[in-house]
A and B are shown apart, each in its own frame.
Chain A
């Protein structure tokens, strides 16, 4: 019983990390129609930027808080998203999908290698602090850390803010307009480039939060964590239905459940995590191509 309770906590914690990553993938695909395969790598630059800022802040103003470093890191990753959109992704928006895929896979390599080369001793893994220390609840053999509580709270808050932003603000309306019909949006004097920029900023910021939580949750940052984070976040987005925020969240919850279940039930199950995730991806794409929550797209001739 206690074991099951603990596994449920593990599942919810994973769900929130996957959800934050999947929302980014989903948003980018929905608006820009590009699969940003290096989104995981963009997200996982955040812990490195945070620690670099923290280290240099410490030299400048002693006693500077880690929180400042985290905020700076999240903002920098957002700007990185805008830069990538402007100089790279935009060119592939109208190209065949595999061009964008190949380009973003190459971009992932470049980002990882840049972290490895630029960060001091970047080839080696480094510890990453537990952002919110302490245990919130310890009941028998079940323990719930404040970090997990914070992760779920922040994820909930971010989702609420994003929903409000997309459905209750003018900019959000324009984003949805571009995502539905870019030509029509353009005719209504909506600047699609601004919309792309904002979307990339929002997706990268969400990714950065996910990256910081991910590093903190596993207690480690390593330059190549973006690969696995990207693959899992992306699977979650596909399972839920690309371009659909509620879908991204449901997809994450389903994926995290399977992920936890495989490891908790089967011996050596950890080796089959990706297999399970991607079998589910294939099944969803074949039988419900628009995802668990997606709407069917009618072909325009």
Chain B
């Protein structure tokens, strides 16, 4: 993402835009690769310092950011091709290392969840601490359908999403009567209730959860088998990488379409001033509940992919702390900025792994990092951008 610091001139050649796009995209990919594979603590710290320096520079020289943004706008086709190549080819960089691939899959799943949460937190400023629960409902629903009735992954997907969306509607309904801190409390309560019930019921497997969820198959090809591509074999995790990638792409498309639609505008209006929004005729309740439903829908998809990927789920996967982590991802990345949210998800998924050198102090450092971040940069790494219309 190292853009040259030249000011944006009026004569912005396509060639130059293309170079900036390719250069910055490759730099991002290289950084991600280096961060995932970094093993020694010195390398991790060096990379974090580099990242901090980058954001420091970005704030210092906003024109550099403008160049990159403008280049991407100019060279849309180049950007699309470059990113397609990067995301499709990324697993090949890790060879047979399943640990790195696994981290990547988890980053993608958390990105989807963070984008889901962003519809409420970022767009409409509705605090929702129950995304962990909708994620869990999606996972449990699909796992139960697969284990009890032998349904396939693809068949359970819509039903899990439906169930979670219904739940989203249910926890969204109180938003008619409550807001801000009180609404946050309702969602916390719902999250805790779902976690406790998953723990208590016999048919959800109790605290020990559900084991042996079968891997998805597609036209007789099992996702649990290694993936052959042009005579090169990728570990089975690559299947789920591409599956999660497709889901993330879907989420990004949905997020963008919604952001640009009347719904996105209505959400932003809600965020700015709820009473004013109501005054201009926006059906506040409907849009609030809709935000919960969209969140639940995408979170359930993520839950289904997770359940079939790990092949085992337990209530402990879906605790209140998961919801808080997702919240942190959105805040750290930058609310209502899809790229920022994805960045936040990647950073907060990888960071605990990179903190392993601290051993017993891992959780302590994680807590400290979150607090420090909220204090130093509460607007997030990539703050929300103004809407721009026309060319």
* A105 to B30 Cα, complex, angstroms: 34
**With an 8 A cutoff between CB atoms, is A231 at the interface?**
yes
Tell me if B375 counts as interface (CB < 8 A to partner A): yes
Q: Which B residues are in CB contact (< 8 Å) with A274?
A: 192-193, 196
A285-B184 contact in complex given A113-B363, A117-B364, C-beta closer than 8 Å: no
Q: Is the interface of B mostly helix, strand, loop or mixed?
A: helix
Q: Are A286 and B174 in contact (CB under 8 A)?
A: yes
Shortest CB distance B67–A (Å): 32
Contact yes or no, A117 B193, CB < 8 A: no
In Å, the complex CA distance between A117 and B363 comes to 11
Number of A-B contacts (CB under 8 A): 117
Instruction: Pick the contact of A107: B121, B199, B371 (CB < 8 A).
Output: B371
How many of B's residues come within 8 Å of A, CB to CB?
Answer: 40
- A117 surroundings in chain B (CB, below 8 A): 360-361, 364
Interface residues in A264-301 (C-beta closer than 8 Å to B) = 271-272, 274-275, 278-279, 281-282, 285-287, 289, 299, 301
Known: A97-B127, A272-B200, A299-B275. A285 touches B368 (CB 8 A): no
Q: Which chain B residues lie closer than 8 Å to A113 at the CB level?
A: 361, 363-364, 367
Interface bits A62-80 vs B (CB < 8 Å: 1, else 0): 0000000000000000000
Residues in A whose Cβ lies below 8 Å from that of B385:
none
Q: Does A95 contact B (CB under 8 A)?
A: yes
**Contact between A98 and B367, CB atoms less than 8 A apart:** no
Question: Which of B17-25, B51-59, B257-265, B324-332 faces chain A?
Answer: B324-332
Q: A114 near B: Cβ within 8 Å?
A: yes
Closest-CB distance, A150 to chain B (whole angstroms)? 32
Residue of B nearest to A235 (CB): B189
A101 CB within 8 Å of chain B: yes
Inter-chain contact B197/A102, CB cutoff 8 Å? no
CB distance from B290 to the nearest CB of A (A): 19
- Say how far A164's CB is from chain B's closest CB, in angstroms: 29
Whether A282 touches B363, Cβ cut-off 8 Å, given contacts A96-B125, A102-B327, A275-B200, is no
B366 within 8 Å of A by Cβ?
Answer: yes
Q: CB-CB < 8 A to B199: which residues of A? A: 271
Interface centre among B189, B196, B370 (most CB of A within 10 A): B189
Contact with A along B193-210 (1 / 0, CB 8 A): 100110110000000000
A sample of 9 inter-chain contacts (CB < 8 A) reads A99-B331, A101-B327, A113-B361, A113-B363, A271-B196, A272-B196, A282-B190, A285-B186, A287-B177
The 9 closest A-B pairs by CB, nearest first: A98-B127, A109-B367, A113-B364, A110-B367, A278-B189, A97-B181, A106-B370, A281-B189, A286-B174
